[in-house]
Amino acid sequence: MRRTERLFAMAEYLRGRRTGVTAEQLAERFGVTIRTVYRDLDSLRDASLPLHAERGRGGGYALDKTYSLPPVNFTAREAAVLVAAGTLLIRLRILPFFDTLSAALDKVRAALPTEGQRELARLSESLMFTGVPAHAPKPEVRACIERAWIEQQPVHITYLHDNTETRRAIRIRSIVMDRAETLLNVVDLEKKADRQLKLHRIVKAVIADGIDDG
């Protein structure tokens, strides 16, 4: 089985299950190594599939139960305004994790009829964006923090403060989207203390599999 075929089959396999499936089960099901399974799962996440890890008995990897949504009927104008609003969030970095939003907007845009796409183009030409925050996180950091937040996974970060880098293990409690920057309310897993961090000061982030945060 070619990799593209395996990725599609794996996505459909996960979609059809009510409970999580372990990496070992996926490796056996598709006849590949566990390392290959992890690479495939990362590829599915990169393709915007809402894949998360469930802990405990009966846990494993699973797709979000709301992934397959029923059809939604928008008028062309409603869809155009949604795309315009989403574009505003992206351009002004009001929503820090905008890759998923961009993928959703592409789907809405593609669903518009020809006249609706023309109306969206006219609307887009009249939009102006000012007041963009000065600081932007690295794309790879933004993607990792988004995943850690959605999946409630602990994450190892390298944090820059007063020109000094420190390494921490954190779990995100909440996100504060200020007009100037994005703040993360987290718990420091080593010190068992609450902290507030600035997203743009995180220079590196890696999902911390296997951490026991009590």
- Residue 203 and residue 156 share a domain: yes
- Residue 80 and residue 59 share a domain: no
Using the 3D structure, point to which of 125, 149, 164 is the last residue of a domain.
Answer: 125
Does any domain span residue 214? no
Apex CA 142: angle with CA 141 and CA 143, to 5°? 90
pLDDT at position 36 over 70: yes
- Residue 188 and residue 159 share a domain: yes
Does any domain span residue 133? no
What is the number of domains present in the chain? Answer: 3
Domain around 155 = 139-207
CA gap 93, 97 in Å, rounded: 8
CA gap 214, 198 in Å, rounded: 25
Using the 3D structure, point to which of 12, 40, 63 is the last residue of a domain.
Answer: 63
Structure confidence by residue, pLDDT tens digits, 69-121: 666 777 777 887 888 888 888 888 888 888 888 888 888 888 777 877 787 77
Write phi, then psi, for 62 (nearest 5 degrees).
-150, 155
Lowest-confidence pick of 32-36, 116-120, 153-157: 116-120
Q: Give the pair of three-digit tokens for residue 70.
A: 């029923």
pLDDT at position 210 over 60: no
Does any domain span residue 132? no
